[in-house]
Amino acid sequence: MFTFYYGKDCPHCAKMHELLDATEKKQGKLFDRVEVWHNEEELKKLEAIDKDRCGGVPFFYNPKTDAYLCGEIEEDELEKWLKEQEM
For residues 9-25, one letter each, b for 16 or more C-beta atoms within 10 angstroms of the residue's C-beta and e for the rest, the string is ebeebeebeebbeebee
CA triplet 27, 29, 32: central angle to 5 degrees?
A: 140
What's the pLDDT tens digit per position in 54-77?
999 999 999 999 999 999 999 999
What is the percent of the chain where pLDDT is above 90? 94
pLDDT value of residue 86: 82
What's the pLDDT tens digit per position in 17-33?
999 999 999 998 999 99
Residue 74 CA, distance from chain mean position: 13
Could you tell me what percentage of the chain is helix, strand and coil, using 3-state DSSP and rounding each to the nearest 5?
45, 20, 35
pLDDT value of residue 87: 65
pTM over 0.85? The answer is yes
Show the domains of the chain with their CATH numbers. Answer: 2-79 (3.40.30.10)
